Structure 1
Amino acid sequence: MASYNKEAAGQHDSALTRWAERLGVSADSLDRLGATVDPEGAIVFPMQDAERNIIGHRRRLPFGQKLSIKGSKNGLFVPTGPHDYERLYIAEGPTDTAALLSMDLPAIGLPGTGQCIDSAVSFVRQRGVREVVIVSDRDDAGRLGAKKLAEALEGVCSVRVCEPPEPHKDLRDWLRAEPLLREHDLIEHSNEPKSSAVEIGDDWPEIIDVATDPVPAFPLDALAPVLGDYAEAVAESLQVPHDMPALLGLAIGSFALSTRVDLRPEPDWWEPCNLWVCCLMRPAERKSAVLRLMRAPLDEHQRSVNESLAEQIEKTHRQEKALRARLDRMIKKVANADDPAERYQAE
Structure 2
Amino acid sequence: MNYFIKETFNEQYTLLIDSDMQGVDVHMTSRSQMRWDFTILKVEKEYAEVRIILLDHALLESNNSMVKEVAQVSQIFSRMYNELHINLNFEGKVTQIHNIDIIQEKWNQTKKEMEGFLEHSPEIKPVIQLNDAIFSTPEKIKQAIQANELISNWWGILVGKEIPSTQKDLTQPNFFNTAQVQWTRSFREYERDKIPGLLQVEVLTQPTFMLSDGFYNRAYSQFADKIDISTVNTLLREEGKFQIEETSGRLIQAIIKRKEEAAPNLYTRLTYTLLSDEIYKQKLKEQPQAYRHPENKKENAINNPEEKNETTPYKIYRGKKYSQEEWEDFEAKQFKIYAEKNNIRMDPKEEKPKKKAVPGKFFIDEKESDY
Higher helix share: 1
Q: Relative contact order: is structure 1 or structure 2 higher (C-alpha 8 Å, sep ≥ 6)?
A: 2
Larger % of strand: which?
2
Task: Please tell me the TM-score bracket, short chain as reference.
Answer: under 0.3
Give the structure-2-normalised TM-score.
0.20
Bigger Rg, structure 1 or 2? 1
Length-normalised TM-score, structure 1: 0.21
